[in-house]
Amino acid sequence: MYGLYVGIDVSKDSFSVAGIDSKGNVLFQGSYSMDAEGFSLFLETIVQHCKNLKQILAAMESTGCYHLNLFSFLNEQGMQVVVINPLLISNFAKLSLRKTKTDKKDALTIAQFIVQHQDAVSGLAVSQGLQDLRDLARERESLCHFISETKSEIKRVLRTTFPELESLCDISTKVMLQFLLQYPSVRTVKSAKPKDLVKALERKGVGTRITFSAQDIIVAAKNSVGIVSPAKEIILQGKVSTLMHLQERVEHMTKLMTALCKASMLQELEIVTSIKGIKTKTAVPFLAEVGDIKNYSCYKKLIAFAGLDPSVRQSGKFVGQSKISKRGNRHLRRVLYLMASSVVKYGLFRQYFIRKKKEGMSAQKALFAVTHKLIRIIFAMLKNKTYFNLKEVSVNS
């Protein structure tokens, strides 16, 4: 039990707070500016009511980026700070018959929520290290999305400047991206010397292996229907340059994430990657989103946290289940899908996937079943600190 419970409602330029005791008595309420002065005044108010900051449980709703500075500041003071899904607060507020909607009222609702659910909520506290890892993982996810979009844009432009090239090779490899920077069209290929084209393809390192020759490109250019457009050449070169920059950022971020994860969650990382098909680049964001496995009393809690639990429709005596709720962590849901898509190619998970399809499931539903099984297995492994052992896992479990 804590000595003080603080609810915080955050907006862009200010935040409102409410402090209550374990019995729900309001000790203070107020609003502060979202700057150093506001943070300092807020801290003074807190200390007046509870000098031991470790005896304070504070909570705020997830608000994109607005809550992060205040969250970090309170964490540095030694306070227990949790970020709560706004949906939970909204549902809790609906239980009240009052229709008042003010920032101070919202802060008080958050404080009342954490008093009533303190055992569950206190486990959601995130260290700055884990928050940094989570931020990096989500930024990497965003960059990967931009990479996918940029690749599609490159292909669209290339279909006008040199449409035959896409069927000849994978244009997204490092060697071809470098090639397209120099020769973005049929016109530029035709005007180049053959020895220069050969030299452009002679590169060493990862992503530089090719199964075609400069002569193949020359032949394709001679029979090409690509148009002459200096403007599109410039556009293509710009998009290729952007893609290469994004790929470098993702590579750097992946290395940084891996180093951070190994420094704080090495055993957990080794446990998750002991499953064939799960690589470090997916295991790290998984651990970043999940955090401490002790926060989940059972695997079903983890499934619900990811929003992979079925939504329930009930009317009278009818109770039906439809699609997944998708009310949980979309970042975790995405990485679990990637993990399941990979492990389904191997052993136990492959057998389980095939069995589910034979039972009449579509490929999508069978993969969903594999995802659930994967969560159950990983949950048990992390709880018991054991590595994957095929002999101990049943296909039918």
Alpha carbon 347 to chain centroid distance? 27
Does residue 267 form part of some domain?
no
Pick the last residue of a domain from 75, 97, 125: 125
Does residue 217 form part of some domain?
yes
CA distance 381 to 270: 11
Coil, strand or helix: which one is 346?
A: coil
Ramachandran area for residue 81 (φ above 0: left; ψ -120 to 50: alpha; else beta) = beta
Does residue 330 form part of some domain?
yes
Task: Classify residue 278 by burial, with Cβ atoms within 10 Å: 0-12, 13-18, 19+.
Answer: buried
Q: Residue 385: name the closest of 318, 261, 291, 293 by CA.
A: 293
Give residue 322's pLDDT.
52
Q: Are residues 14 and 120 in the same domain?
A: yes
Amino acid (one-letter) located at 220: A
CA distance 380 to 292: 13
Does residue 359 form part of some domain?
yes
Q: Are residues 42 and 118 in the same domain?
A: yes
Domain of 114: which CATH number?
3.30.420.40
Domain of residue 173 covers: 134-250
CA distance 326 to 311: 8
Q: Are residues 146 and 222 in the same domain?
A: yes
Give residue 316's pLDDT.
46
Does residue 216 form part of some domain?
yes
Does residue 268 form part of some domain?
no
Q: Are residues 301 and 349 in the same domain?
A: yes
- Decide: 119 and 1 in contact? Cβ < 8 Å: no
Give residue 100's pLDDT.
47
Retrieve residue 364's tokens. 């999508």
Largest CA distance in the chain: 83
Which residues sit opposite 57 in a β-bridge?
Answer: 5, 80
Q: Are residues 21 and 113 in the same domain?
A: yes
Total domains present in the chain: 3
Give the DSSP letter string of 304-318.
Answer: HHTT-SEEEEEETTE
Domain of 207: which CATH number?
1.10.287.4070
Q: Residue 20: name the closest of 93, 129, 109 by CA.
A: 109
- Decide: 218 and 197 in contact? Cβ < 8 Å: yes
Amino acid (one-letter) located at 200: A
Q: Are residues 232 and 138 in the same domain?
A: yes
Question: Taking the CA atoms of the chain, what radius of gyration do you get in angstroms?
Answer: 27
Q: Are residues 159 and 197 in the same domain?
A: yes
Q: Are residues 178 and 195 in the same domain?
A: yes
pLDDT beneath 50: ranges in the chain: 97-101, 312-321
Which residues sit opposite 324 in a β-bridge?
Answer: 310
Supply the pTM of this predicted model: 0.78
- Decide: 283 and 359 in contact? Cβ < 8 Å: no
Q: Which residues contact 347 (CB under 8 A, 6 or more apart)?
A: 276, 390
CA distance 369 to 381: 19
Enumerate long-range contacts of 21-30, CB under 8 Å, 24 or more apart: 22/115, 24/112, 24/115, 26/108, 29/104, 29/107, 29/108, 30/104
Q: Are residues 293 and 319 in the same domain?
A: yes
Does residue 263 form part of some domain?
no
Q: Are residues 151 and 120 in the same domain?
A: no
Does residue 84 form part of some domain?
yes
Pick the last residue of a domain from 125, 155, 176: 125
Q: Are residues 296 and 378 in the same domain?
A: yes
Give residue 84's pLDDT.
85
Angle at alpha carbon of residue 255, lines to 63 and 288, rounded to 5°: 35
Sheet order of strands, 26-33 included: 26-33, 14-20, 4-10, 56-61, 80-84
Q: Are residues 283 and 242 in the same domain?
A: no
Q: Residue 309: name the closest of 293, 329, 295 by CA.
A: 329
CA distance 338 to 146: 17
Pick the last residue of a domain from 93, 108, 125: 125
Which residues sit opposite 336 in a β-bridge?
Answer: none
